[in-house]
Amino acid sequence: MFPDQRGPASRAVSACLARALEDPSAAALALLARRDEDALDEARARDALRTLAPGDEPLAGMALGVKACFDVRGWTTHAGSRVLSDAPAAAEDAPLVRRLRRAGAVLLAQNNMTEFAYGALGLNATFGTPLTPCMADAPRVAGGSSSGGAVAVARGMVNLALVSDTSGSARIPAAFCGVAGFKPSRGRYEDAGMTYLSPTFDVPGIIAMDAAQCLRVDKALAPRPDAGSPARLARAAAPLAGLNFVVPDHVEDMLDPEVRRAFSAWLQCLMGAGAALRRVPMPCVAQSGLVARDGGIIAAEAYMLHAPRLAKDAARYDPRVGPRMLLGAQVPAHAYLAAQRRLAELRREYDAAMAGADAVLTPTVPMLPPTLAQLEDNDAYLRENSRAFSLTEFANRLDLPSISLPGDLADRRAVGLMATGLRGGDRALLAAAVRIEAALGAAARRRNRFPHSFAE
């Protein structure tokens, strides 16, 4: 139905539509609104124009999915909720969507998400829950809140997903689905036209197949280099032997056995490739999440944004979202402000602890994706939900760029390796992530070529 085309845009869109046809049930859960024929027509037109007048389209050949919390002209920005499902369609694209399209990406679909981005596991009671393609033993969640984008990228239904990240919403589903998810420093990407959960912590993010693709998108969206040290950026793009990584010494005790084994193997691989690595106490990493939760920052801000709707439409909210937002009405102003002040102090502590280091390395998530059955009980859901963002949230609380990498490029498992850098050092972090991926990929190729040499 969707024959291959000659130009890069047409080939990309045709391939994505073909992959969606291969698994219509997964596509229905990941892609909520689609423009199949319009996307093909646009792709053909772009290819034809490029032949006649080659232009600067750095994202040519990428089919784009957009999380349902961003405005797209003609689609309802419902943020995964029936509360907004009958709202008027957006009159224009969000500025970031416009920039991606002007850079050559072809808009293909709107992606599913956790209602109002308030959840780290990807459940959605209204539109259905996307499932990770990485584990077939039982129906397992894809992670949230950007569940649909991660599944769509992992299954080849889009090449790039525009997402948001409040506590790990780009990186958790990327890890659970075996792809890459990037959260930038605040202000790097325009956030107008994005439905907020928490204005303090929300940033737009990217999900793509690997770090190299994330770097390609970042160069299109933020063409100027980092404001930080040119020497740091140059070192990040050099061989891995020039990089210095730190591991917070409390992290490995948090991990399930499968994740701990994978993380240990990745660290051994990176040290074998010449990277320097040290384990250090970093209390600011652990404390930042506790401070934000004790201060009720997200709950208070979510309640502030949703109070008028909750007053008249609370029953229409997901029962795992609305009641948690209502708790924000109980947050004292002094606790909220004290938490904001303490986070500013912790940011300075992190900066001092990172002197001479290029990135913090941790797993993205301490456990494998839970099954749907494991999350039926509400207490179990809340426990696993908090655990899912226990390693990702410090990057949001301390305003740091952070990327989840598929640790095994040859066999994309539901475990991610996360690198978190220095505030404003987004390009340096992405360049380092590409080098990390290259080292892990080389190790995987050696394992495949000489499997007996790597037997445990």
Cis peptide before 146 (omega within 30 of 0): no
**Are 130 and 30 in contact, with CB atoms under 8 Å apart?**
yes
**Residues sharing a CB contact under 8 Å with residue 164, sequence separation 6 or more, in sequence order:** 67, 69, 70, 117, 145, 146, 170, 194, 197, 202, 203, 204, 205
d(CA 180, CA 182): 7
**Are 173 and 144 in contact, with CB atoms under 8 Å apart?**
yes
Q: Which of 57, 8, 369, 14 is nearest to 158 (CA)?
A: 14
Amino acid at residue number 65: G
- Cα angle for residues 415, 278, 180 (degrees, 5° grid): 25
> What are the tokens at 362?
């941790």
**Catalytic site residues?**
67, 145, 169
Cα of 339 vs its chain's centroid, Å: 25
Q: Which of 136, 130, 138, 185 is nearest to 158 (CA)?
A: 130
Which neighbouring-strand residues pair with 293? none
Q: Which of 169, 32, 203, 21 is nearest to 112 (CA)?
A: 32
371: left (phi over 0), alpha (psi -120 to 50) or beta: beta
